């Protein structure tokens, strides 16, 4: 028995808003928190207090779920610490990601999960991509009529070159993306291929028919391999829980579910949690004392039967930044919040300990402006929620620190000429700040990989001349792609006349900035013979294509001239400059292949071995539980993508390159796919399936395309907001006058590139932040 005083002491370590979590008395509770509100801290204390209040133990547990593995270990550590201090059993709670919770349930009852009898193989992301490629090829073979319809597109003059180009675009680009979107959206919403076929679509259902076919073929291949993907884990668990006695078993074991990062869950994942969180009335013992603690579920929606739903969902809808590539959508969590609000079960954590006051004012204004702008016509990108500083007696020391300078510095195009100038100004500011306080943690947040690379190269002098440590997070990603690059190039060397092989090799050369991206690679790859060895009768190649051709031919020559074991180093020198340890990584890979293939070293065995390495992903750096700690080290400058920066913070945050083209961006259709229509087919499929999920009218392709770009823009603004709220003492926002048209190549610049409209408005509202 824990003394109430001890629990009260623990509760008092929380700020007011967080205390509403600790005061949870059962039933449903939504907690909508602003960035920096201390959600995880609040949840950990709330968990310990709930375990004490409800006498939880091994057979009646509190289940905590969150999104990433590092968040799991963070929360586990905190809860465990509190339980130790309160002398409560550690077995009273579990913390896991949603997927691993689902997998535990499903694999405990294999016969009902649909997983098959043998050992279950869980496909990784890269294995899934391979399956999708295979499914696409198979679908093309089995569906010649639909494929021809796509080849015809809007119009077709029957010319062979154009046909070959279209084939390459469809098979290597459009159809695999369509498959990916369709599978992600449909499967994670429990829609079957048949459901897609039966939906009433205004365009006659052709797009949904293709989506259904690809999805079906993918499923077939997955089953053939005896494998499951991440969506199957959730579906498997839900299938298992349809069984009355098994559901009862789990519901009795699980007293309540606390979910962190709830804005990132899909509806099906939420269903799973709701089922687990339910205690059926029939399971409550007569006159059980616990009964009096529990409030009836406010929703009464009763997933999985009537009962009491003990479910706390904590999240920030304004930090939902995964909705354009998963089925998560902030609207689901928003709806949950609204529903709970009707029953006075919504708690809003709007005080935040992290940033200096001006950073909060800037983030609040951006949110307000976007929600009242043309970008909010269809649906508001943000939940209206202001971030407030903490009270003076807050338990967190120095929760809202003093600013450095004004706390926010905005650099507009009239002071910054071009991106080189912009990064030079940033470098000088970093040097100055580091001299003033060598312990400051700093980060530069970028939206695209190529920006990160540009920044890392341009600021290398800070390390050389001033010993400032730079940690480029994307670098390790680049290293993990080395085996894939090698595989693509070797496959091309082995069979250069395959359009697919040539296309993959060209893609690698483009990604490594060795050939220009300002050309249609599909056109080059569609007829390898003509591209590599044109006759005098063939039309002349453009200068950009000639450059690509000479790089490809050099690779083919090397295959003839060099001993096989020299090919890996040769390819490495072709692809990589001596940056980011890529050459060293390629060396390591070469050594490993040499060791593994002693006495059996041939092109074929090297390719097979590389395939193995790529598919098993066992050459990648192992995810480190304290990776986040390494990103935020004092005295270090971290270069990191906006997506990865979520959940982290630094004393000083730089956000450069804030142009309208990127934030909020606009829907863009490459010339090469316009034969299909003025829209992206994968995005349209996704929007149509989404409409089925939401029981809405299915949009026609043009409407669907508009919706997609709207959703994407809303998400870009949320990314901007996530970025801004990472700063503790100083936030730097900038955009140069001249910027690259596309970051794939820095050569083509747009003069007077329009800047992100939210930043223009921010500068108008707070002219005192404008710096030069
Ligand atoms: N009541 C508190 N007392 C002392 N420190 C606190 C308190 N609440 C939060 N903090 C500190 O504030 C920081 C952020 O807390 P936490 O990680 O819980 O925030 P979060 O809301 O999950 O963050 P995010 O903005 O990324 O969503 C942590 O360093 C934590 O220790």
Q: Which of 77, 353, 394 to mutate to test the pocket of ligand 1 (most atoms within 8 A of CB)?
A: 353
pLDDT digits (tens, 9 = 90+) for 430-468: 999 999 999 999 999 999 988 998 999 899 999 999 999
**Residues 298 and 340 sit within 8 Å (Cβ to Cβ):** yes
CB neighbour burial string for 423-442, b if at least 16 within 10 angstroms, e if fewer: bbbbbebbbebbeeeeebbb
User: 618 falls in which pLDDT band (50, 70, 90)?
Assistant: low
End-to-end CA distance of the chain: 62
* Choice between 637 and 569, residue whose per-residue pLDDT is larger: 637
- The protein residue whose alpha carbon is closest to atom 6 in ligand 1 is 396
Query: How many angstroms separate the alpha carbon of residue 398 from the centre of ligand 1?
Result: 12
Other beta carbons within 10 angstroms of residue 687's beta carbon come to: 25
pLDDT digits (tens, 9 = 90+) for 120-135: 788 877 788 889 999 9
At 278, give phi and psi (nearest 5°). Answer: -90, 130
Query: How many angstroms separate the alpha carbon of residue 532 from the centre of ligand 1?
Result: 58
* Choice between 690 and 480, residue whose per-residue pLDDT is larger: 690
**Residues 292 and 9 sit within 8 Å (Cβ to Cβ):** no
pLDDT digits (tens, 9 = 90+) for 226-259: 889 989 999 999 999 999 999 999 999 999 999 9
Considering the domain delimited by 370-384+404-468+635-769, tell me its CATH architecture. Answer: 3-Layer(aba) Sandwich (3.40)
Query: How many angstroms separate the alpha carbon of residue 41 from the centre of ligand 1?
Result: 5
d(CA 244, CA 304): 9
User: Which atom of ligand 1 is found nearest the CA of 37?
Assistant: 21
d(CA 602, CA 564): 7
Whole-number pLDDT of residue 161: 87
Peptide bond into 664 cis (omega under 30): yes
* Residue 621 clears pLDDT 50, i.e. is over it: no
Whole-number pLDDT of residue 294: 38
Query: How many angstroms separate the alpha carbon of residue 36 from the centre of ligand 1?
Result: 6
Whole-number pLDDT of residue 496: 96
- The protein residue whose alpha carbon is closest to atom 10 in ligand 1 is 38
Please give the average per-residue pLDDT across 491-496, as a whole number: 95
* Choice between 345 and 630, residue whose per-residue pLDDT is larger: 345
* Residue 268 clears pLDDT 70, i.e. is over it: yes
pLDDT digits (tens, 9 = 90+) for 181-216: 999 899 988 899 999 999 988 888 899 999 999 999
- The protein residue whose alpha carbon is closest to atom 11 in ligand 1 is 38
- The protein residue whose alpha carbon is closest to atom 19 in ligand 1 is 38
- The protein residue whose alpha carbon is closest to atom 15 in ligand 1 is 38
pLDDT digits (tens, 9 = 90+) for 710-740: 888 999 999 999 999 999 999 999 999 999 8
**Residues 20 and 45 sit within 8 Å (Cβ to Cβ):** no
Q: For the whole model, what pTM was predicted?
A: 0.86
Within 6 A (CB) of ligand 1 lie: 13-15, 18, 33, 35-41, 316, 353, 395-396, 647
Query: How many angstroms separate the alpha carbon of residue 352 from the centre of ligand 1?
Result: 8
pLDDT digits (tens, 9 = 90+) for 733-744: 999 999 988 887
User: 565 falls in which pLDDT band (50, 70, 90)?
Assistant: confident
Could you tell me the maximum CA-CA distance found in the chain, to the nearest angstrom? Answer: 93
Query: How many angstroms separate the alpha carbon of residue 40 from the centre of ligand 1?
Result: 7
Report the side by side order of strands in the sheet with 442-446.
Answer: 408-411, 727-734, 650-655, 442-446, 636-641, 469-472
User: Which atom of ligand 1 is found nearest the CA of 316?
Assistant: 27
Whole-number pLDDT of residue 563: 86
- The protein residue whose alpha carbon is closest to atom 9 in ligand 1 is 38
d(CA 359, CA 403): 9
User: Which atom of ligand 1 is found nearest the CA of 260?
Assistant: 22
Query: How many angstroms separate the alpha carbon of residue 399 from the centre of ligand 1?
Result: 9
pLDDT digits (tens, 9 = 90+) for 743-763: 877 878 989 889 999 999 999
Whole-number pLDDT of residue 302: 39
* Residue 480 clears pLDDT 80, i.e. is over it: no
Q: Which of 35, 38, 44 to mutate to test the pocket of ligand 1 (most atoms within 8 A of CB)?
A: 38
- The protein residue whose alpha carbon is closest to atom 5 in ligand 1 is 396
Query: How many angstroms separate the alpha carbon of residue 266 from the centre of ligand 1?
Result: 25
Closest CA to 766 of 202, 366, 471: 366
**Residues 52 and 2 sit within 8 Å (Cβ to Cβ):** yes
d(CA 686, CA 214): 13
Q: Is 36 annotated as a binding residue?
A: yes
Closest CA to 359 of 411, 403, 397: 403
Written as one string, the DSSP assignment of 102-124 is HHHHHHHTHHHHTS-SSPPEEP-
- The protein residue whose alpha carbon is closest to atom 1 in ligand 1 is 14
Query: How many angstroms separate the alpha carbon of residue 198 from the centre of ligand 1?
Result: 48
Q: Is 38 annotated as a binding residue?
A: yes
Closest CA to 509 of 485, 527, 528: 485
Q: Which residue has the tokens 């048209």?
A: 741
Q: Is 405 annotated as a binding residue?
A: no
ipTM value: 0.96
Distance of CA 178 to CAs 129, 219, 489, 676, Å? 12, 15, 25, 13
User: Which atom of ligand 1 is found nearest the CA of 41?
Assistant: 18
Closest CA to 126 of 236, 264, 269, 229: 229
**Residues 676 and 649 sit within 8 Å (Cβ to Cβ):** no
Q: Which fold has domain 4-109+234-353?
A: Rossmann fold (3.40.50)
């Amino acid at each position: 028995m824990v003394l109430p005083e001890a629990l009260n002491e623990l509760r008092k370590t929380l700020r007011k808003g967080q205390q509403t979590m600790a005061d949870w008395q059962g039933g449903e509770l939504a907690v909508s928190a602003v960035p920096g509100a201390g959600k995880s801290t609040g949840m950990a204390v709330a968990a310990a207090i709930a375990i004490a209040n409800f006498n939880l133990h091994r057979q009646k547990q509190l289940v905590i779920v969150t999104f990433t593995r590092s968040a799991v270990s963070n929360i586990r550590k905190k809860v465990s610490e509190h339980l130790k201090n309160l002398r409560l059993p550690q077995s009273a709670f579990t913390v896991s990601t949603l997927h691993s919770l689902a997998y535990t349930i499903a694999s405990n009852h294999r016969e009902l999960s649909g997983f098959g009898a043998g050992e279950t193989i869980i496909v990784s992301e890269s294995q899934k991509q391979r399956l999708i490629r295979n499914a696409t090829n198979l679908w093309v073979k089995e569906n010649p009529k639909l494929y021809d319809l796509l080849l015809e597109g809007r119009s077709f003059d029957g010319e062979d070159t154009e046909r070959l180009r279209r084939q390459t675009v469809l098979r290597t680009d459009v159809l695999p993306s369509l498959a990916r979107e369709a599978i992600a959206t449909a499967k994670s919403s429990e829609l079957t291929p048949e459901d897609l076929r039966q939906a009433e679509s205004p365009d006659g259902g052709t797009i949904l028919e293709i989506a259904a076919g690809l999805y079906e073929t993918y499923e077939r291949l997955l089953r053939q391999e005896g494998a499951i993907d991440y969506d199957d884990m959730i579906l498997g668990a839900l299938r298992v829980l349809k069984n009355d006695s098994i559901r009862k078993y789990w519901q009795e074991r699980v007293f309540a579910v606390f979910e962190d990062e709830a804005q990132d869950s899909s509806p099906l994942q939420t269903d799973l949690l709701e089922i687990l969180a339910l205690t059926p009335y029939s399971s409550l013992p007569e006159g059980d004392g616990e009964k009096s603690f529990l409030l009836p579920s406010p929703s009464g929606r009763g997933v999985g039967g009537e009962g009491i739903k003990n479910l706390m969902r904590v999240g920030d809808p304004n930090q939902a930044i995964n909705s354009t590539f998963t089925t998560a959508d902030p609207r689901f969590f928003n709806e949950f919040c609204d529903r709970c609000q009707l029953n006075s079960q919504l708690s809003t954590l709007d005080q935040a300990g992290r940033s200096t006051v001006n950073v909060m004012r800037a983030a609040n204004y951006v949110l307000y402006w976007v929600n009242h702008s043309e970008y909010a016509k269809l649906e508001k990108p943000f939940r209206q929620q202001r971030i407030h500083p903490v009270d003076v007696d807050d338990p967190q020391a120095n929760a809202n620190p003093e600013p450095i300078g004004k706390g926010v510095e905005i650099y507009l195009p009239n002071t910054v000429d071009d991106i080189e100038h912009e990064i030079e100004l940033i470098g000088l500011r970093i040097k100055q700040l580091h001299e003033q306080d060598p312990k400051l943690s700093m980060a530069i947040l970028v939206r695209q990989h190529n920006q990160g690379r540009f920044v890392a190269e341009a600021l290398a002098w800070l390390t050389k001349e001033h010993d400032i440590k730079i940690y480029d997070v994307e670098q390790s990603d680049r290293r993990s792609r080395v085996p894939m690059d090698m595989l693509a190039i070797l496959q091309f060397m082995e069979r250069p006349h395959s359009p697919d092989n040539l296309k993959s090799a060209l893609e690698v050369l483009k990604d490594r900035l060795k050939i220009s991206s300002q050309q249609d690679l599909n056109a080059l790859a569609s007829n390898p013979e003509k591209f590599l060895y044109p006759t005098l009768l063939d039309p002349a190649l453009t200068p950009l294509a000639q450059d690509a051709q000479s790089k490809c031919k050099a690779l083919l020559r090397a295959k003839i001239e060099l001993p096989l074991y020299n090919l890996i180093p040769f390819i490495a020198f072709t692809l990589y400059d001596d940056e980011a340890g890529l050459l060293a990584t390629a060396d390591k890979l070469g050594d490993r292949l040499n060791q593994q293939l002693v006495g059996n070293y041939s092109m074929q065995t090297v390719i097979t071995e590389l395939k193995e390495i790529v598919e098993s992903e066992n050459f990648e750096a192992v995810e480190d539980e304290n990776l986040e700690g390494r990103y935020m080290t004092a005295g270090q400058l971290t270069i990191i993508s906006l997506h990865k920066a979520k959940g982290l913070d630094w004393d000083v945050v730089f956000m450069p390159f804030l142009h309208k083209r990127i934030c909020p961006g606009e829907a863009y259709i490459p010339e090469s796919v316009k034969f299909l229509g003025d829209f992206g087919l994968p995005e349209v499929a996704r929007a149509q399936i989404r409409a089925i999920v939401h029981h809405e009218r299915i949009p026609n392709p043009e409407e669907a395309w508009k919706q997609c770009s709207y959703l994407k823009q809303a998400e870009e603004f949320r990314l901007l907001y996530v970025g801004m709220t990472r700063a503790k003492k100083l936030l730097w926002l900038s955009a140069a006058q001249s910027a690259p048209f596309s970051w794939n190549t820095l050569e083509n610049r747009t003069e007077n590139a329009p800047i992100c409209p939210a930043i223009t408005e921010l500068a108008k509202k707070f002219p005192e932040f404008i710096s030069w």
